[in-house]
Amino acid sequence: MKTLYVALAQQQIKARKLEEAAMELRSFLTLTLLTYLILLLLIPNTSASPSFHRRKSLGRVSTSDVDYLEFPLNLEYLEAEFFLWGALGYGLDKVAPNLTMGGPPPIGVRKAYLDSLTKNIITQFAYQEVGHLRAIKNVVRGFPRPLLDLSAGSFAKVMDKAFGRKLLPPFDPYANSLNFLLASYVIPYVGLTGYVGANPLLSSATSRRLVAGLLGVESAQDAVIRAYLYEHAYEKVHPYGITVAEFTIRLSVLRNQLGKAGWKDEGIVVPLGKGAEGKISGNVIVGDDYSVSYDRTPEEILRIVYGGADERVPGGFFPRGADGRIAKSYLHSA
């Protein structure tokens, strides 16, 4: 009989525990539903309000905003073509020909020999850049794709200039995954510093929202590239016998020199005093003394991508010069 009482007591305890658990679950679900309903009330109804992803009247964006929004198209075109071709072996003319607006095809670009992981990541970057072109052109009219020189020789000149001597054999960004990511190190960071510089100069909320969104993704791309290179920081790049870290340091020093506006660029390894809070030499994400992103002006960016430290003289990745009113104003003053 005692055993029967014990068994019944245990069953009652178990039943009470199940009932308590059910009550807790119901309370949780109720709270979750209430939270969801509150959020629905707080979040603006985007279907009823205009989005920067839809075509806007140019009248809603000031002339100065148009200039600052159109200028980044130069680098977005460059990144889109480099990443598309590197990963897939074809570019905007196949993926989104309407976005080129009839601009000339890039020079010398080709498919890279990438491992499966790197190819997957670069493919993601590529389609993100296509999206960036669409996003900008949903707000401003834009301009045709400028002539881009993405040949191996163009990147080799950058590397030679960074090291102050000719690398032998010439650097080939399409030879393997590591080389391609070192070449990629050259590009997104310049663009993201431009977005940082442009944002406080914009007058409309539409413009600032767009640039903030573009900056977020460009910064993430740069962080992914730098994280990969940091993992291989002390690996030597074949056949040069130079570490990955030194490549990034030399490229950053070169961009600082070309930009002619002080220290705004850092490699993946820095002296201890230059790291975050002066306490670490690892430098996966670049920042100033307060770990805040550096900014660049369009003039600085042109000096870098033209490769000659002069915004009035085309060259480098833009043999005929960049497009848009800002870039053209310097070409006309040359």
Instruction: Give helix 188-198 / helix 298-306 axis angle, nearest 10°.
Output: 160
Question: What does the alpha-carbon distance between residue 327 and residue 325 come to, in Å, rounded to a whole number?
Answer: 6
Does residue 266 surpass a pLDDT of 70? yes
* 166-210 confidence digits (pLDDT tens): 999 999 999 999 999 999 999 889 999 999 999 999 999 999 999
Nearest of 155, 150, 172, 73 to residue 105 by alpha carbon: 150
**Main-chain phi, psi angles of 107, to 5 degrees:** -90, 130
Does residue 88 surpass a pLDDT of 60? yes
Max intra-chain CA distance, the chain? 106
* 295-305 confidence digits (pLDDT tens): 999 999 999 99
pLDDT the model gives residue 63: 85
**Neighbouring residues of 161: CB distance < 8 A, sequence distance ≥ 6:** 254, 307
**Neighbouring residues of 294: CB distance < 8 A, sequence distance ≥ 6:** 193, 196, 264, 265, 286, 287, 288
Three-state SS for 69?
helix
For residue 72, being part of any structural domain is answered with yes
CB atoms within 10 A of CB 262: 9
- On the question of a cis peptide bond just before residue 106, with omega within 30 degrees of 0, the verdict is no
What are 149's strand-pairing partners? 107
Share of the chain above pLDDT 90, in %: 78
pLDDT the model gives residue 60: 76
For residue 50, being part of any structural domain is answered with no
| Residues 281/270, Cβ–Cβ less than 8 Å | yes
For residue 281, being part of any structural domain is answered with yes
Q: Which of the four pLDDT bands, split at 50, 70 and 90, describes residue 334?
A: low
Nearest of 311, 185, 194, 312 to residue 248 by alpha carbon: 185
For residue 9, being part of any structural domain is answered with no
For residue 44, being part of any structural domain is answered with no
What domain range includes position 247?
64-332
Of the candidate ranges 11-20, 208-217, 262-271, 325-334, the one whose mean pLDDT is the lowest:
11-20
Q: How many residues does the chain have?
A: 334
Measure Cα distances from 177 to 119, 158, 183, 187, 257 in Å. 8, 18, 10, 16, 27
**Neighbouring residues of 71: CB distance < 8 A, sequence distance ≥ 6:** 194, 198, 298, 322, 324, 326, 327
Mean pLDDT over the full length of the chain: 87
pLDDT the model gives residue 15: 42
The stretch 220-227 carries a mean pLDDT of 97
**Neighbouring residues of 182: CB distance < 8 A, sequence distance ≥ 6:** 173, 229, 237, 244, 247, 248, 251
pLDDT the model gives residue 273: 87
| Number of domains, the chain | 1
* 12-58 confidence digits (pLDDT tens): 434 444 444 444 444 443 433 333 333 333 334 433 334 444 444 44
pLDDT the model gives residue 118: 98
For residue 39, being part of any structural domain is answered with no
